[in-house]
Chain A
Amino acid sequence: MAQLIDRRPNAKNKSTVNRQRFLRRYKKQIKKAISEQISERSITNIDGGESVSIPTRDISEPTFRNDKGGVREGVYPGNKEFAQGDKIKRPLNQGQEKGRRASDTGEGEDEFAFEISKDEYLDMLFDDLELPNLKKNQLRKMTKSKTVRAGFTSDGVPTNINIVRSLRSALSRRVAMGAEPRRVLHELEAELQALDQEVGGDETKRLALQEEIEVLRGRIRKIPFIDTFDLRFNNFVQRPEPTSQAVMFCLMDVSGSMDQETKDIAKRFYILLYLFLTRSYRDVDVVYIRHHTQAKEVDEEEFFYSRETGGTIVSSALEMTRDIIAQRYPPTDWNIYAAQASDGDNWNDDSPVCEQILAKQLLPQLRYFAYVEITKRDHQGLWDHYSRLLESNDNFAMQHIREFEDIYPVFREFFRKQTQ
C-alpha cells in the first residue's frame, strides 16, 4: 500500500536559502545594477521591489562541453523529399540555434534578469551605510504603548468573550456541581430497584425513596447551563514599548535659479534619505520647507513642483526649521535630521548668518545635517561658509552633485559606515 503524504502545509520556501546564497554571491553585480538604475527609477514607485539584470557570463557554471564544428551525424524525423546522397546547403542555423537555446534553457540570454523584493532591494541599496550618531538617540527612546494579548480574565466587555473557554468552564462547573447529587441519586436508584425486586416491599419507604429521587433529579436539572461565573474574556493589556521616531526636514531653494532638473535631483536625494530613515525608524515625519527670500512650510506636491522666482535668502529656511523644532519636535523626543538642497545661490550677506544659525542653534539639536549643492558652476559664498562648519561639527556634512549619476554615490558618501 502506498503511503500518502500531504506536503502542502510544509514550508514552501525550501529554496529561500539558495536564493539568499545567490544574492549574496552576486551582491557586487546586483549592487552595480541597482546603482545604475537608481537614477532612472520612477520617483513615485518607491514601494515595490526592483527588477535587476546581471550579465549571464558572470553567473555561468562552466563545464567541459563540446563546441560546434567537427564532423557530426544526426538523425531527424519527418523526411519528405530527401534521398540518400542528397546535398543540402548548410542552413543559416546559427540564429535559429541561438533562439532555441534561449527558450529552452535560458542559457542563451545575455542578461540574467530577475526580481528582488523591496526588502532585498533596500538591503542592497543601503548596504554598508549607517545613520551617523545613532547611538546617542538610542538612549533617548520614547515610550509608546501597544496593545498585547495577556491571557484571560473573568471580567470584561461582551465583545471580548472567549466562547471556547467560557463553555469549557461551564461544562466543568456543571460536572462539579452535579457530582454529589448524581452519586446520591445512583445510590437511591439502586436501593429502589432492590426494593422493587423484593416481594412485598415496604410501600412507604418506596414512596419516600421515589420522592427523594425526584428532588435530586430536580436539583440536577436546575444546575444552570451557563453562569456569569463561567464567562472568560480575552484579556488585553497596554504594554509600554520603546520606540524611536524621527523627523526629517527637507529644505530647498525654489528661487528662480533652481530649474526643474535640479529639483528632480533634489527629490531623488530626499527619497533616498526617506527610505533610509524608514529602515531605522518606524515613523518618520517629513517637514517640507521651501524658500526664496522667505521660507514657507508646504506639502510635498507644492514642494517639488511649484515654481517661484526672486532672490534667495537661505537663513529664512534655517530659522523656520529652528522654529518648527521648537514648536513641534522637542529634540528630547525626536531624532531630527535635516537635508538642504540648493544650487548654491545665496544673497551674499546672508551666508555668514546661515553659518551662525547652524552652528549655534540648529546643529546642537540635530542628529545630522546634510547639505547638497546641485550645480554645475563654481561654488559660491554659501559653500565656503558651510565648509567652516565641517571641522567643529561631526553631525554636519556637505556634498556636491553635478548630475543625476552623482546622487547615489553622494548619498553613500554621506552615510558611509564610520569605521571606528
Chain B
Amino acid sequence: MKPSIYENSRDVFLDTVNAKDYIQLERVSTIYQSLKDSIEKPLKMVLLYGKPGTGKSMFLSKLHHNLISSQKVCLYKTPILDENEFFKILAQDLYGISYEGELNFTQFIKVVENKELLGTTIPLILLDEAQLYSTPMMEKIRLLSDTRKVKFVIALHKTEKEDIIAKEHFQTRIWESIRLENASTSELKIYIQKKLMKVNCIDTASMFTQKSINLVHKLTDGNYRDVNKLVYTLFDIYVYYANNNPNKINTSEISTKFIEMSAIHTGLIDA
C-alpha cells in the first residue's frame, strides 16, 4: 500500500467542524429529522445538549448548511459574551441593521417586535457553546424567544447552565430537548468506514475489523472527537512505518499495537 493512502486516510480525521464531513448515521439522522421537524413548528427554543465531542457543533453546522438556502438562519459557533455586541450582531445578521453606537436589550427587543416577518418562516439563531453565556444573558435570550419573532437552537454541554435552562420558567419555553450521545460500537464502525469511503480509501476502511473497532470504542468510549484524534494519530503512525519500515505493516487489519500507541500519544492511555 502506498504511503499516500495512509496520508489521505489520516487527513479525513482532522478534527474540524465542517458540514461536508458530516456522516449520516441512523440514530443521528433520526435526531436530525426530529430537530428539523421541531424547527418547522411554532417553537420558541430547542435545546441540544450532550457531552463534549458528541457532535453538537457538527449537528448545528449541518443544520445551518441545510437550512441556509431556505430560510434566515444564523450560526454562532463561539459565544458573543458582550451583551451590546451580541444584540448588534443579531440586528446586523437578522435585519441588516448596523448600529454604530450602543444597542441594549430594550432597544433591540423593540427592533425585533416592530419587524414584520418575511413570509411564514421565523429567523433561526443557532447558538453553540451556550453554556458560556451568563445567566442574565440567557434570560434575555428567553425573553427574545417570547416575542415569537425569532427562534433559538441552543447547544450546550451538560453543566450547571443546563440546570438553569431546566428551570421551570425556561422549561415551558423549550419546545424540544435533544440529547446527543457517544457512538455505539456499530455506529463507530460505520462512522470510521464511511469517512474513509468518502475519500475512496477502501483498503484502509476494510482494515478496520470488529476487533480493532471494539478496541477503538473501548479507548474512546465512542466519543467522536476522541475517535478523530485517535484514528488521525493511528494513520500518522502508519505513514511513518510506510515510509521507514513497511515490513511492520499488516495490510489485512489494523494493528492493535498501533492503536495502543496512538492512544498513548493522544493521552487516552496513561503510560
A is bound by B: no
- Residues of B participating in the A interface, judged by any CB pair closer than 8 Å: none
